[in-house]
Amino acid sequence: MRIVALVPGGIGDQVLFFPTLDDLRKNYPDAEIDVVVEPKAKAAYRLCKSVDDVLLFDYGDRNSPADWANLLGVMRDRYYTVALYAGQGWGVELLMWMTGIPTRVGYDSSAGKGFLTDVVPDKSNQYSAHRYHDLLQGVNISTVTPDLAIAIPKKDLDWAEGEQKRLGIKGSGYVLIHDGSGEAYPIDRWKSIVQSFRQQQPNLPIVIAQSSEYLELTTALTSDYPELKVTDPGDLGKLAAMIAGANLMLCTESAPMNLAVALQVYTVVLRNSANATPLPQSDKLAVIASETGRVADISPDQVLSTVWGA
């Protein structure tokens, strides 16, 4: 049996699709399971043991007829038995039909559902991991969605151990700050949070996970607080390993938040709206949603009262 899942989106979307892949592997242990993802999301599969091969395709509007034809040829050549589509786009569903794959599963809300053999209800108001897992109803799997889980490669765990030793925090625990979302939290507000930690827990190390998207944060915080530690993991596996060693992670809503949930690390997440897509229910995840729709409007006092339980 050969199964392919077409999963648009970034790294966070892929991590949320892991429970679906894990359940496929559990129910079809001898199957070959491949995914088709965007180039920017390939790194996620460093943390997933349920996938045999990762194929690349840009689901955006920049594809030429040759790009579509190439993907069609690859999928035909692999003689897949089942295809699952986690997005909504009639072009992809038409391509799935053209491959001749016997079982083609997608959502009933998609414009191209006529090209599918099986459609499932699109309950878009639920946690994305559950929504993705609903696709398995099309292959007669009706189990409860497994917990989000990741598999960190040993070499990344070893790297993190060495990094913690380099930073002088091995075995001591630490607070990890990560801000790499599209809407960054203001630097002056991060400074207020760091200052509170300095007053409340002066011996607890604070580590900034440096993000290429927001280098100003590292520069500004270390300028005012030179005792802060800085780590630059470089890839998702190493970042996951650093998250795993943290006592607490403070972050904006992003793929690393999903890694922290999977690793069951206490996490405080800042997000821009209380009406956004639901997040997982976990006693280790505290969500602070802006009432204005802007992350920048969350006050440091809101964050600190969540952290200190005031």
Domain spans, the chain: 2-139, 154-308
Strands (E), 205-297: 206-209, 229-231, 248-252, 266-271, 285-289
Tens digits of per-residue pLDDT, 114-134?
A: 999 999 999 988 999 999 999
- Whether the Cβ atoms of residue 46 and residue 18 lie closer than 8 Å to each other: no
Predicted local confidence at residue 276, as pLDDT: 73
Locate tokens 């030793």: which residue? 165
Interval 156-172 mean pLDDT: 93
Sign of CA dihedral 295, 301, 307, 309: negative
Task: Say if residue 214's pLDDT is above 60.
Answer: yes
154-308 is classed CATH 1.10.600.10:
no
The pTM assigned to this predicted structure is 0.91
d(CA 284, CA 261): 8
Interval 2-21 mean pLDDT: 96
CA distances from 62 to 57, 66, 97, 175 (A): 11, 11, 21, 41
Number of CB atoms found within 10 A of residue 53's CB: 12
Can you state the percent helix, strand and coil of the chain, rounding each to 5?
45, 15, 40
Tens digits of per-residue pLDDT, 270-289?
A: 998 766 788 888 889 999 99
* From the candidate CATH numbers 3.40.50.2000, 2.60.40.1180, 3.20.20.80, 3.40.1260.20, the one assigned to the domain spanning 2-139: 3.40.50.2000
Predicted local confidence at residue 310, as pLDDT: 47
Do 2-139 and 154-308 come out as alike in CATH topology? Answer: yes
Locate tokens 């390939």: which residue? 42
Q: What is the mean pLDDT of the chain?
A: 93
Predicted local confidence at residue 182, as pLDDT: 67
